[in-house]
Structure 1
């Protein structure tokens, strides 16, 4: 039953695919071992257990989100960068419904690996065009993250059940964010 070629990265990637498709509740070492064609105890050669594996998957999710955001803002600034960032954020949440929730929790592994810091740095870069004083940048990042996560989380959970287009509300949110970020700026 052993399968050559397993690495911590391959085990994590397989777990991420499972979580993305079926949610964290579907992740177990025995289920993952079956998917990988190995005995569950052999996974311990690559990960420290379920909690360690979930931390690794969470770190991967944060890295994937940071990558998507970074690509979206390249060559953009101001409102254009904010819009691109917000749309990429929203798209990531919709395309990765199982992984997205893992990007929102305090994650020791993502913090240790630097992925959480990198995600924040991408948001900071997206907001540079607003010329926000250094002492207020953290406020801008928190406001942006809270607004985007709040909207996306409600949307994904089906909380916008009225017939009016959700995209219109998202555009209004971006207008409000843009206005607030301009006020924080110089």
Structure 2
């Protein structure tokens, strides 16, 4: 049953596929081993356990989201950058639901200190600098933006906001407009 050629990246890719297909909570060393056709013990040379595997997923999610945010916000400022930032998150959540769910969980210390987390943080703060925000004001604003994005995406994924007009995309744009106005007048 052992399969040659396992690497940490292959193990991580298998875990990400399980998360996206079956949900983040379905990820385990046993589930990944089954998907790769190996015994669970075969994975311990590549990941030290479930916590390490989930940490790798969290960092992978940050890497992928960071790439989308960078592409969506480069050269833009204020409303355009904010819209790109929002849309990158929504695209990521729709295309990588398990990895999106990883981002909704607490990060381990290694992830918090990672280059992946730093990149997403810097990109977020760059969007807010367009509004003249820095320091504690930028942190507060980033939390509001993040909560708005996460809340909207969670409601949308649950299907709880699609039952009436206007369309959810109209509400999405209205939320961006409202935050744009709030950020322009941030105390």
* Pairwise TM-score range, normalised by the shorter structure: over 0.9
In the alignment, the residues of structure 1 paired with residue 148 and residue 139 of structure 2 have an alpha-carbon distance, to the nearest angstrom, of 14
Give the corresponding residue for 1:124: 125
In the alignment, the residues of structure 2 paired with residue 133 and residue 100 of structure 1 have an alpha-carbon distance, to the nearest angstrom, of 27
TM-score (norm 1): 0.92
TM-score (norm 2): 0.92
Question: Structure 1 residues 102 and 36, CA, compared in 2 at 3 Å: closer, same or farther?
Answer: same
Q: For structure 1, which runs of at least 5 residues remain unmatched after alignment?
A: none
Moved over 4 A (4+): none
Q: Confirm whether residue 146 of structure 1 aligns to residue 150 of structure 2.
A: no
CA deviations over 1:44-77 (Å, ceiling 9, x no partner): 0010111211121122112211221111111111
In the alignment, the residues of structure 2 paired with residue 36 and residue 86 of structure 1 have an alpha-carbon distance, to the nearest angstrom, of 35
In the alignment, the residues of structure 1 paired with residue 134 and residue 6 of structure 2 have an alpha-carbon distance, to the nearest angstrom, of 47
The aligned length equals 185
Question: Structure 1 residues 133 and 57, CA, compared in 2 at 3 Å: closer, same or farther?
Answer: closer
In the alignment, the residues of structure 2 paired with residue 122 and residue 133 of structure 1 have an alpha-carbon distance, to the nearest angstrom, of 13
The Cα shift of 1:133 comes to 4.1
In the alignment, the residues of structure 1 paired with residue 169 and residue 90 of structure 2 have an alpha-carbon distance, to the nearest angstrom, of 11
In the alignment, the residues of structure 2 paired with residue 126 and residue 71 of structure 1 have an alpha-carbon distance, to the nearest angstrom, of 13
Instruction: Write out aligned runs for 1:26-37 (5 A).
Output: 26-37=26-37
Q: Which moved more, 1:57-66 or 1:107-116?
A: 107-116
Q: For structure 2, which runs of at least 5 residues remain unmatched after alignment?
A: none
The Cα shift of 1:103 comes to 0.7
